[in-house]
Amino acid sequence: MLRSNGLRKGKCRFCRRREIATMSKGNLKIGFVGTGVMGRSMVKNLLKDGYSVAVYNRTKSSAEELFSSGAQWVDSVAELAKLSDVVITMVGYPKDVEEVYLSEEGLIANAKPGSVLIDMTTSSPLLAQRIALAGKAGGIDILDAPVSGGDVGAQSGTLVIMVGGEERAFSAVMPIFAAMGKNIILHGPAGAGQYTKMANQITIAAGMVGVCEAIAYAQKAGLDPSRVLDSIAGGAAGSWSLSNLGPRMIAGNFEPGFYVKHFIKDMNIALESAKAMGLMTPGLELARALYEQLAAEGEENSGTHALYKLYMK
């Protein structure tokens, strides 16, 4: 039995993977769903690296600045799936991921056999596994590949990319990952990328509490917090959050690189996973409680570093 691309059903995925790996950047068709704070910069880097990119977003205005850089607009997820060799998604919540991948008008139902679909949303590891199984049944490769590095990493193309899925699919799209990130690691089968991202978010959650408390402490002690930051960022207390978000806290700039509401979503996923494993996570529980308080005070669309505001009332 022949599939729509002319390849035998049994060989389709292997042949398409090999084809994707060897296609020139200009001929490879990449679809991208979700052009928010992170997605826009990721698309720009793909275009800058010479890829042909078509985009879909629920709100077209969010994607308009990409058109002058060469991105093509399509009107639906289904249409995007049909014309793309590789589709990348960067949406908001697990429910959005589920709709984009598993609905009748979603990616799996409409993608070409042998396509590679890459979810770079921070989402549920169990959902990633479900999606991978559905993809396999349809002859489609799925990778879960959440990222870390925030808006700064997205803009500079230096994102950390944590991947779960089959090694052959990972190898086939490695050049695409390289256009968006620098530290790119395959951690295991489907869901492994999401589990790794949860470890990342647990570290950030407790660490952000420490960063906020340290800067607030410096101010209350009558010190220049910027000079304190210069001292401690280069020592054992150093972290990405301290170096990149500490200065924003001090400057009163709480624009989102990553939204409070999305961080709460991530912490909920991590807590559910930890509970299922029988693991106690008191630091994570404290951080979530503080962030929920922050969101209740109207800061859900601020950056995660807005947690500092709770300390400086």
**Beta partners for 185?**
162
What is the chain's alpha carbon radius of gyration, rounded to the nearest angstrom? 20
Query: 10 Å Cβ neighbour count for 186?
Result: 21
Cβ atoms of residues 28 and 20 within 8 Å? yes
Distance in angstroms (rounded) separating the CA atoms of residues 11 and 15: 6
Shortest CA distance to 97 belongs to which of 168, 114, 264, 88?
88
The one catalytic residue among 29, 112, 197, 265: 197
Task: Name residue 169's beta-bridge partners.
Answer: none
Q: How far is CA 30 from CA 55, 60, 177, in A?
A: 9, 18, 12
Is there a catalytic annotation at residue 197? yes
* Beta carbons of 295 and 261 less than 8 angstroms apart: yes
Name the residue among 179, 176, 150, 177 with its Cα closest to residue 161. Answer: 177
Q: How far apart are alpha carbons 209 and 109 in whole angstroms?
A: 43
Q: Decide: helix, strand or coil at residue 232.
A: helix
Active site residues: 197
